[in-house]
Each structure stands twice: as C-alpha cells, then as structure tokens.
Structure 1
Amino acid sequence: MTLCFIPLARAFGKLFSQLDPLTAYTYDIIGSLAGIAAFSAMSYFSLPPLAWFAILSALLLLLSAKRTVVFAAVVLAATLIEVGQLQVGAYWSPYYKIVISPAVPDGYIVDVNGVGHQAMTSWQYKEPFYKEVYRIFGNGSFHHALILGAGTGSDTAIALANGVDSITAVEIDPTIQQLGAQYHPNHPYSNPRVHVVINDGRSFLQNTTDHYDLIIFALPDSLTLTSSNTSLRLESFLLTQDAIAAARAHLSSNGVVVLYNYYRQDWLVQKLADMVGNAFNQPPLVTTYGGWGRAAAIMAGPRLATLPRNEFGIYSEHPAPSHSNTLRILGQGYYPLTSMTPATDDWPFLYLQDRSFPTIYILGLAMVALYALVGTVTFAPRKTLRRFDWHMFFLGMAFMLLEVKSLTTFSLLFGSTWLVNSLVFFAILSSVLLAILFNRYFKFQRISVFYLLLFGVLLLNILVPPGALLLSNPILRYILASVLAFAPVFLANIIFTNSFRDSETADIAFASNLLGIMVGGGLEYFSMLIGYRLLLIPVIVFYAAALLLRLRSSRTPGRADKQAAAELVPASQTDS
C-alpha cells in the first residue's frame, strides 16, 4: 500500500519545486476539496469499491507519462478485475463491507468487514437479554420506546411483540437498516408503529425533544478498534456516562434505560454498571448471562422503584454452566458501585479498563515509525536531509493534533457520521484555502501576533469542558463550536501558509511538514492517557517551538534583510 504512493509523491515534490509555493499549495488544497466532495458523493450513494477504483484509475491514467501509459492501463485493468471479483455478493455502506448468509432456523447472519455483526432471525430465537426488561415489567408495560443502534430490526421486532405502542428506531448505517427492512423475517420496519431515523444515536439524543418510557442502547458496537480518522469508534460518544445522563433527561417520570450486549470481561460489566449508576444516582439492576458467551443487561431509571422491594437483592452470581450452547442467567440484582474510571465525553474509551496506552498501539506506532524512518533515510538524498525544516515539522505535529481535536469536538456535537467527518475536513481545507488568500494579498509584518492569538484561543478551548458546548439550540451550538474549534484552525493555517510562502525550498518544507503530521497522528493516541481536551497542551508546546525556530531564523544574516525588504511592499505586488 505504501509503495503505491511513492511515484505520486515524487511527482508531487517536483511540482512543488517548480511553482511558487502558495500557488502549488492552492492547487493541492483545491484538489483535496474535490476529493472530499467525491468521497461524500460516493458515500451518499453507497457505491462499491469498483466505482472508487475506476475513478482512481482514470485519474492515474491522466497523470501517466506517454511512455508508461500502456503499462499503467494494463496494471489498472487487472486491478479493476480483481476488485470486481472481491465485491461479488457484498453490500457496501459508508462504513462497512456487508455480507449476509442464511441462518438457522430462519433469517440471515450479517457479517461486516469479515466479522460476525448481528443475526436477522425471528424474535422468538433471540438471546434472553433482549427480552429481560419485558420479562421483569410485563408485556404491554411500555408505550413509547427509543432504540439506539436498531440495526436490522431485531430489538424493534421484540418491542413490537411485547406490545410497545410507538417505537423510534435510530440506526447510523443506512444500508444495514435497509437490509433489515428487506430481509428480516418479522419485517419490523414495515410496521406503522415504527419510526426509523438514520442518524448517530448521541446526536439524536441531543436534538430530540421527545420523552420515552423505555430507552434501549441496543448492542451498539462498531466491531472496530478505531475509526479511520481518530482513536474514536463509531459508538464512542454513545457509550459514555454523559450520554447515559442525556438519555436520562429524555426519560418519562416512569421510564427505564436498558443497555445489553455481549461483554467478554467482567470489568466491562462493572464499568458500565458504574456509569449507569452514577448517571442515575442509584445502583442499577444487572442480569448477567453465561454458558454460550458472556452477556449482561443493565437497567436503571424511575421505574425500578415500582418493583416489589424484596424481588431483587444485592447482585449475586451462581456458578457458570459448563458445556452449554445457550445463554443462561448467572446472576441478578442491584450492582454495587465502585470507583472505576468511567468513559466520558473527554475520555470516551469504554473498552479501556483505565487510562493507559495499550501495547498493541505502541507496537503499531513503532512499526509505522520504523517504516517511515527507513523510507526517509533510504530514498531522501543526504543534502535534502541536511536541509530538513524543523520549523515546518513542528507546525505539522501541532496542526495534526489540532485537527483531531476539532474532529472529535464536532463528532460529539453533531454525531460520528461520515457526513459530519466530510463536512469537518471540508471546512478545515476551506480554512486553509482562505488562509492562503490572506497571505497572498496581505503581508503580516509581525506573524508572532497570530501565534499569541492562537495560544489564547487554545487556552480557552482547554478551559471550556466538552459538556459546555452541548447547547439545546443546534444553531447556537454550531456557532459556538465553530468559533472554538475553527478559530484556532484558521489561525494555525495563517501561520503555516505564511511560513510556507517564505520558504526557499518548498518541496523540503512540505515534506518536513508531512513528517510532522505523521508524528502528530501517532501522538494523538496519547488521548487514551490524558483525554482529548488536554491534547491541546502539546499543541501549544509545538507551536511555541515553531515560533522560537521562526524567530531564530529571522535573525539569520541575509534572511532577515530579505524579509524586511519584502515587507515594504504589498504581497500582491511581490507576487506579480
């Protein structure tokens, strides 16, 4: 995969050395904006990989030299044939490759990205934790239910079968929901009592004004360690103590919140029970299962007070059944709370037992660093390495961390959907383009002023907790988030494009910046230790280092005279 980028990168570097730095960078950003727009369109229509590779192949052929175009065409044609064969029988969503296969005794098994995800079978065959809340409170006890992570519809089918009058089913993946509507044996999504919403569950909780007497967190699990953009999973902000508190705010006076799933570790059940208990200020009612897997159902809310006082005591467990092919109740009761670190909006890592840096991430980042170091030393000329631009390197590290913080802020406020991610990247690139125009037409004599403004806005972002941005009015929320998230991005781009414009070796400066971006991408995983808000501290440190290097270079004889002379005339004249 990495080798495929080397020819493009070499051609890219040559173009940067042949054009004015800001002109080259302008074309680069416009191309990136077009790429984001193309990605958004292909995601919207859920186009298969063959369409993606066909567009890529056409662009590569246009960029190929005459002497290599035939060879490139043959290689790309073979690639398209292979891609076409790999996608046979699969469905494609903005998030997954989806394959369905017949299940026993009826319905289908749904695999995503090669991993078993869920089963579309009749509700009678579903695991007991789906039905536990109805078993405890009785058929027909609930009138208005909200299901977060409705998937192909099994949770909805069970709610319908147990007499729920009105159901709002929220699912983030449109293709998975459509497959459920088409293939689920009970056809729950065709029932007029069901209202389907395609949205991020946390975003829906933040924007809805309705109240429910039953809210179900229905096995929300993206089955991936991380998303493609940050260490966040698709459901990260849905499974935090703050999200559970948001669900509590939408409960009726006689409502209950339920979380259920397979949980492979006992500490994970304890962590979720603590989060639910802290959000509701009461020990949750927990039912655990064993035999075939390990599962739990966790409940809390005002409706627990209606249960007979002696029906459930303190949680206790029975020995796990051996060699069983069914789930059986292991224990039940009110779960004692502990001081385990909860997942929060600032530290949304449910599947970490505590603040830590897992070994798998350390090994992965070390491998990437090794490949990058070997590649740089092997392919970069020695004279290029000696001219490495540390100022641009620190700007790259800082900006990557700043970009991650902006992306996580908007994922929290508006959802972790592909559309939100596309809009955030489009906005960031647009701010880069705007900063280029500013630096093309205005010569800033004291760029250090922009550094100071940036430091001030970054400190404000550190002081403002994520929950303060979750305003009930979405327009005010967007305005406040845009100011706090994109003001530092714009200021950072003013600083970068100013330095890039004055660079004497644009290709080396850009390469140094890209290496910094790569290192910054690795440092982003320190959020597992300190949370996302405190990531802005190293951002300030790196920008301070870049400022010191810029000030030192400006005092270098010859360079300072050149900059002073340039500042005597408008930038528009110097570019002519």
Structure 2
Amino acid sequence: MEQTRTGHGGTSVRWRLLLSSATMLFVELALIRWAGANVVHLSYFSNFVLLGSFLGIGIGFLIPAARGQWIKRWAPFPLALLIVLVLAFPVQVRQSSTQVLYFTAVKATGFPQWVTLPVIFLLVAVIMAAIGKITADYFRRLPPLDAYRYDLLGSLTGTVSFALLSWLHAPSVVWGVLAAVAFLTLGGRRNALRYAVPLTAMVAVLLVETMTTGISWSPYYKIQLTPSDSAGSYRISANGVPHQTIAPLSVLTRENSPYRQAYDQTPANPHRRVLVIGAGNGNDVAVALAHGAQRVDAVEIDPRLQQIGAQLHPAKPYDDPRVHVHIDDGRAFLERTKNRYDLIVLALPDSLTLVSGASNLRLESYLFTQEAFEAARDNLAPHGAFAMYNYYRTPWLVDRFAGSLDDIYGHAPCMTTFAKNAAVLVAGMTASDQSCKQVWQPSGPVPAAATDDHPFPYLLHRTIPGFYLGVLGGILLVTLVSVRLTGVRIRRVVRYTDMFLMGAAFMLLETKNVIGFALYFGTTWLVNALVFIGVLLAVLGAVEVRRRLRRVNQLVLQLLLFASLAVAWLVPVQTVLSLPFLGRLAAAIALAFAPIFFANLIFSDRLALAADPTSGFGANLLGSMVGGLLEYLALVTGYQALLLVVALLYLGACVIMRFAGPRSGARSMLKRGDTADAAVGSRSPAG
C-alpha cells in the first residue's frame, strides 16, 4: 500500500481518481440536463436528481473497501437502463397543486408520478453509487488531502467539460460518448466487454434521439422544431412542452392580437425606442418594427431560440439594422443598461427549467419581483409604458403582477384578457399615458409581491407545498433504507456528525451563492457555470493552503468563518446591485467565496486527521443531500435567512469538533501503527 501511495503506482492512482471524479461530476450534470429535458416537469425539480446523486455518491464512499465490488463490475448498466426507460416509455411528473404553478400545455400521459419519481431517484442513486464506489476506492489509496485535491481537480474537469459542451450546443449523443469512453477507461480490460454492451446501447439510443428531425440542444433546453399547418409558421417545444410559435406578421398584428395590445393601449406613445425582454424567435421584435420603432433592443437568454428565429421567421426581424440583439438575462440587462425606452415589453418570459440543480429559482424569477418592475420603470422615458403578457393560468397570478404595477406606477394598469387565462397588462408612467378598454380590478385578495429575497412569483403563499413535502419525506425515507440495505453501519456516519453538518452547511452556502450571482449578473448558464467553477477553485485553494501548513488554529478559522458569514448577512443586496460592474464583481466574489474558503480550511484540517477519511467524506456527501432538502426552507423564509441556517449548522459542527476531539482519529491511527495518512495529513505531502 505504501508503494501505491508514493511510487509510480501512486501517479496512476491520482490520475484515475481525477478521471473518476470528473466522470462523476460530468454524469451528474448530464443527468440533470437530460432527465429534465425528457421527463415533462422534472426540469422544475432538477435538484431532485441532484439529491439522488448525493445519496448515491455518499453511499459509494461509505461502502467499505472490501465490499460492494459488484456495483463496480456492473456500473454502466443502471445508466443505460435509465436512458432506455425514459425514451422508450415517455413519463411525466404530473402537477396539479393550487399552491405553485407549472407552465405547461401537455396532456397527462405516461406513468403516474408515484412510479416516475421513485424510479428516477433510485436509478440516479444507483448510477452515482457505482461511480462513487470507483472514486472512493482510489480515494482511500492516497493520503487524505492528496486524495481530496485530485477529487476537486476532477470535479473542475467535469464541470468545465460540460460547460464547454453547453457552449457548443452539443447534442446528447456527445455527452453519452464521452461518458462511455470514461467508463471504459475506468473499467479497464477486465470489464471491457461487460461495460461495452450497456454503453453501446446507451449511445445508440442517444444517437436516435439526436438524429430525430427538428431536435437540437441549447444551454437550457432540448428544443424540437416542427412546421405548423399555416404557411411560414413553426411550433417550438422546449423540454417536451409547447413553448413558442413562429407566425407571419399578418397573424401577429391582426385585430385583438395580444402582440399589439401594448401599442393599441398607448396611442400617444411614439414607440421609437422599444426594449423586448424574452425576444425568442422574434415575434415581438417584428411587431415593434411594424409599429415604427427606430431602435429595438431584443434581449433573449437562449441563443438557440434566437438563432431559430433569425433563420426561419418570415418577417426576418433579426436582419433589420434597427434591431440590436443581446443574448443575456433580462434582469441583468435592466440593471446594466443606461438607455431609456418608450416601451418595455416582457414577452412571454416563462422558462421551463430551473437556474441550476441546486436551487428552486427559475430562469425568469428575477424578472417578476418588485425590484425588477421598479428597475423597468427607471429605464422608461417620460410618458413611456411597460407591458407584460402571458398565459398566466390563474387569476391570483395576474393580481400579483398587476398589484405590483399598481403600487409602482400609482394607478391601475390596463388589462386585456384572452382565452386560456391569457392576459396583457399595460402600465403607463402616468394614467394619461395609457388608454384602457378595461382597467385591472382584483378578483380577490391580492397576493404579496415577489421580492429579490423571495423570488417565487408562482408560489401563492410563503409555504412549502404539500407536493414538495411528500417528495422530500420520501427522499429521507429512501435514504435511511438505502443506507441500511447497502450494509453501511450508521455509527460510521454518526462518528462524523461534524463532517455531516459541514456538508449540509456547505450545500446551503453554495446554493445561496448561486442565487446571489444570478441576481447580480443574470441567470444565464455561463454565470451559473462560473459560480460552480469559482466554488471549486475556492475549495481547492483552501486545500492547497492546508497542505502547506504544519498545523492550523481551528479557533481562529472558526472566528473568520462566522465573521465572513456575518458580513454576508449584513450587506444589503441592493447595495451590491448599485455598484458599477467591477465593484459589484469584487463585492460578490468577496461575500460569496470568503466563507467557502474558511469553511473548507476547517474541513480540510478535519479530513486530514480523520481516522477513516473516506467514511468521513461519505458522511459529508450525505450531509450535502440534507442541505439540498433544507434549501426548500427558502420558500418560507427567503434566501437571505439561509445564512442563519448555515451559521447554525457550522456552529453545531464546530461544537462537536471542539468537545468530541477531531484529532482523536489521528491519535488512534498512530496507536495502530497505520501512520501514513495521519502523518501526511499534518504536513505537506509530496507531489
């Protein structure tokens, strides 16, 4: 074993650990994207896949080295099974809650959710347990901090690789081929034939999906384009849900069309400068040009949707020199632009996915907060107007948005209704700047406005819907049963309760940072990817610092951690938003990554001195899963309050470390004569 740690074999182990960790992150990200794209409505629950991943990886690390070899031998089979089942038997997570809305226009088909959700969750857990077991067996063959270092480098590699594929709009078959190559490399000659069969089947199924006419991938969606019955018209589905329609200008501007209401109800407005947020395939841009706009800023978050419109829209709006395209987040554009507009239009901006697998924030959530509506007003010219429209599904959602506009502009907006609960809201800077056929009147009690701290416009009350509670309770039950069935001893986890709590705290802290950067810089896939890369770099930096120190003062680190959390709690979000870009970036980085750096210095020291680092790491991963469950508290408290939960979890971990003695594990190892891990953990290892 000592030769493996220090000799030529150690180099091989390090690179295999890096590859297995990269595969683990890559497959996790791919499953979040792919499952959400093919299981209707699962894209609203992408952290459901993330929780299954953490459960599986945690179990993989907790299984003792001498056990569980069978799961490594059959590692690719559950992955292939999941891919085949989802594509061969289309499934749907049905959602009929009146507490939270899910935008859709599909018929209820496929398996019921009580079959769909457990099958997907368990298969994801088994897939990740297999990769986790492969990773853990390499992990335990190296000194703790050395292993953690290469695990982080692998995680960075997997994250950057998937981000690069998103940037290239790579189809799912490319993801499958890369995963297959990684599996075959990790399996070696002994498992080559056994791995080849399921991996070939998986790639073949993904190839069929990729070759299907009209299918393409954006960084956010699986997009399907189909011609409509009308000449020049196309239907665009995203993640299996009808999303947009490309229509000729004659259809868009006909009498009583929703597209023209903003212009009809502001007849005195010159409409010279128009901002369209959610420009999509270009329908609203074409209508703005038809009404004489001299400049149109078209903001669209999804580059593929804009590209489809540029290629196929019969009015060719994106070819017009008056149109300026911005592939960006709408809220980020509002915060950054210095332009003033005669008309700002929120054009059907309902996404069909979450910002990331680690939060309940949707791509458009920050467009519908009170602060966002105020930012739009601040970008209007004198006598300008703001308009928004969508199929809102329920009267209370219209009342929420209209009530916000009433508060901000000081008068009720115009409201025009259409079939299927569609509504157009138009608010002029003054009441005389709008001309209404019908003024909004509330249909009942007006729900409180969504805010930047509680950006959940589709949630009626500050509560966790019963549907979520049922699913989360099921996840906890499955977790307990899975840990027992795999033969993991609970006391192996209990003795690392401090590392378990640190995992839960870290997951919440990471989620809070994703949310913060989404508000400061946009909910784009690039911002999201850069945040995760930044988190990994901060953790890696902490590990590198710890590797070069003979000892650390835990009390000082703990004080620095809680001080950084206090600063993050006390600094108002609006203060950061008001800064110029470079100042905002510096403040966001300091507020987000300082707590992560100090927390991981503490964790790295604890890991280095653990009697069984692999089990401690597994307990930490299970804690991360619990942190993912606790993230749902934000539906009640808002996101800023999560910092208090983070502080309490870290406080509990610090108390346990102080009174239970985190260094006792190292002392027990020295008494047994197994000195390598403990000794290397207390000073910089070679290489």
2:442 is the alignment partner of 1:305:
no
Matching residue of 2:395: 266
The 2-side partners of 1:49 and 1:555 are apart by 45
Query: Where in structure 2 are the equivalents of 1:360-375 lying within 5 Å?
Result: 360-375=467-482
For 1:442 and 1:344, the matched residues in 2 are separated by: 44
* Residue 115 (str. 1) matches residue 241 (str. 2): yes
Q: Does 1:91 align with 2:251?
A: no
Q: Which residue of 1 aligns with 2:345?
A: 216
Following the alignment from structure 2 to structure 1, what is the Cα–Cα distance between the partners of residues 323 and 464? 42
2:147 alignment partner AA:
A
Partners of 2:307 and 2:219 in 1: CA distance = 13
Report the alpha carbon displacement of residue 532 of structure 1 after superposing the two structures with TM: 0.3
Partner of 1:322: none
Counterpart of 1:492 in structure 2: which amino acid? A
Work out which of the residue numbers 10, 18, 25 in structure 1 matches 2:141: 18
Q: What is the percentage of aligned positions where both structures have the same residue?
A: 38
Q: What code does the residue aligned with 2:455 have?
A: P
Determine the C-alpha separation between the residues in 2 that align with 1:128 and 1:152.
Answer: 17
Relative to structure 2, which stretch is displaced further, 421-430 or 461-470? 461-470
Task: Give 1:139 shift.
Answer: 8.9
Cα distance change of structure 1 residues 205 and 226 upon mapping to structure 2, 3 Å threshold: closer
* Between 70-79 and 416-425, the greater mean CA deviation after superposition: 70-79
2:646 counterpart residue number: 539
Name the counterpart of 1:288: 416
Partner of 2:382, secondary structure, is: strand
Moved more, 218-227 or 247-256: 218-227
Q: Cα distance, 1:9 vs. partner?
A: 1.5
Q: Which residue of 2 aligns with 1:59?
A: 182
Q: For 2:251 and 2:271, how far apart are their aligned partners in 1?
A: 22
RMSD of aligned alpha carbons: 2.5
Which 10-residue stretch deviates more, 369-378 or 520-529? 369-378
Q: 1:100 aligns with which of 219, 225, 228?
A: 225
Matches within 5 A, 1:108-187: 108-126=234-252, 128-138=257-267, 141-187=270-316
Answer with 443-452 or 495-504: which moved more. Answer: 443-452
Alignment map for 1:370-409 (pairs within 5 Å): 370-382=477-489, 385=492, 388-409=495-516
Deviations 1:284-323 (A, max 9, x none): 3232314x3111111223254245xxx65xxxxxxxxxxx
| Alignment CA distance shift 1:166-1:542 (3 Å) | same
Report the Cα offset of residue 393 of structure 1.
0.3
**SS at 1:267 equivalent:** helix
2:323 to 194, 202, 211: 194
- Counterpart AA for 1:284: A
Distance 1:238 1:140 in 2: 24
What SS class does the counterpart of residue 424 from structure 2 fall into?
strand
**TM-score, structure 2 normalization:** 0.76
> Distance in 2 between the 1:491 and 1:288 partners?
54
In the TM superposition, what is the alpha-carbon distance from 1:562 to its structure 2 partner? 9.1
1:207 equivalenced with 2:339 (yes/no): no
C-alpha deviation, 1:259, in angstroms: 0.9
Give 1:459's aligned residue.
566
Deviations 1:121-180 (A, max 9, x none): 113323722211211233983100000010001111111111112100000000000000
Question: Secondary structure of the residue that 1:352 maps to in structure 2?
Answer: coil
Letter matched to residue 92 of structure 1: W
Whether 1:43 aligns to 2:149 is: no
2:411 maps to a residue whose letter is P
For residue 438 of structure 2, the aligned residue among 332, 337, 356 is: 332
Higher mean C-alpha deviation, range 148-157 or range 441-450 = 441-450
- Please state how far the C-alpha of 1:397 moved relative to its aligned partner: 0.4
User: Residues 132, 383 of structure 1: CA spacing in aligned structure 2 closer, same or farther, 3 A cutoff?
Assistant: closer
Structure 1 position 424, deviation (Å): 0.5
> Quick check: 1:439–1:571 contact (8 Å CA) kept in 2?
no
Alignment of 1:431 with 2:558, yes or no, is: no
Mapped contact 1:553–1:559 kept (Cα < 8 A): no
Which residue number in structure 1 is paired with residue 32 of structure 2? Answer: none
The residue type equivalent to 1:118 in the other structure is Q
Q: CA deviation at 1:386?
A: 6.4
Q: Assess, with a 3 A threshold, how the Cα gap between structure 1 residues 251 and 140 changes in structure 2: closer, same or farther.
A: closer
2:599 corresponds, among 489, 492, 506, to: 492
CA 1:306–1:573: 2 relative to 1, 3 Å: closer
Alpha-carbon distance change, 383 to 194 in structure 1, aligned in 2, over 3 angstroms: closer
What code does the residue aligned with 2:195 have?
A
Quick one: structure 1 residues 514 and 570, their matched pair in 2 at CA, closer, same or farther if it must change by over 3 Å? closer
Q: Under a length normalisation based on structure 1, what TM-score does the superposition of the two structures give?
A: 0.91
Preserved contact between residue 248 and residue 313 of structure 2 (Cα < 8 Å): yes
Superposed CA deviations along residues 399-432 of structure 1, whole A, max 9, x for unmatched, are 0000001110000000111100111011100011
Any idea what SS the aligned residue of 1:299 has?
A: strand
1:473: which partner in 2?
A: 580
* Corresponding residue for residue 321 of structure 1: none
In structure 1, how many angstroms separate the alpha carbons of the residues matched to 2:131 and 2:571?
A: 42
Query: In 2, distance between residues paired with 1:260 and 1:522?
Result: 33
SS in 1 for 2:155: helix
- C-alpha contact (below 8 Å) 1:410/1:420 kept by paired residues: yes
Shift of 1:572: 7.4
**CA gap 1:119/1:442 in 2 versus in 1, 3 angstroms:** same
* Match in the other structure for 2:521: 414
CA contact (8 A) 1:139 1:162 kept: no
Q: Which has the higher contact order (CA 8 A, sep 6+)?
A: 2
Give the corresponding residue for 1:79.
202
SS at match of 2:265: helix
Which digits, 9 at most, give the CA deviation of each residue in 1:15-36, with x for residues without a partner? 2222111111111100111111
Aligned length: 551
Distance 1:183 1:574, change over 3 A: closer
What amino acid sits opposite 2:405 in the alignment? Answer: V
Q: Spell out, residue by residue over 1:422-449, the C-alpha distance to the aligned partner (whole angstroms, 9 max, x if none).
A: 1101110001111001111114442122
> Cα–Cα, structure 1 residues 296 and 60, in superposed 2: closer, same or farther, change >3 Å?
same
- Unaligned 5+ segments in structure 2 are 1-122
The more displaced of 377-386 and 496-505 is 377-386
Q: Contact between 1:388 and 1:512, CA under 8 Å: does it hold in 2?
A: no
The 2-side partners of 1:544 and 1:266 are apart by 44
Q: Which residue of 1 aligns with 2:35?
A: none
**Offset at 1:5?**
2.0
Per-residue displacement from partner, 1:330-378 (whole Å, max 9, x unpaired)?
x811546966321111100000112110122112222222222221111
Inter-partner Cα distance in structure 2 for 1:254 and 1:522:
47
Report the equivalent of 2:51. none
Letter in 2 for 1:405: K
Shift of 1:481: 1.1
Cα deviation for residue 526 of structure 1 reads 0.9
Structure 1 residues 244 and 67: CA distance shift in structure 2, 3 A = same
Q: Which amino acid in structure 2 is aligned with residue 190 of structure 1?
A: D
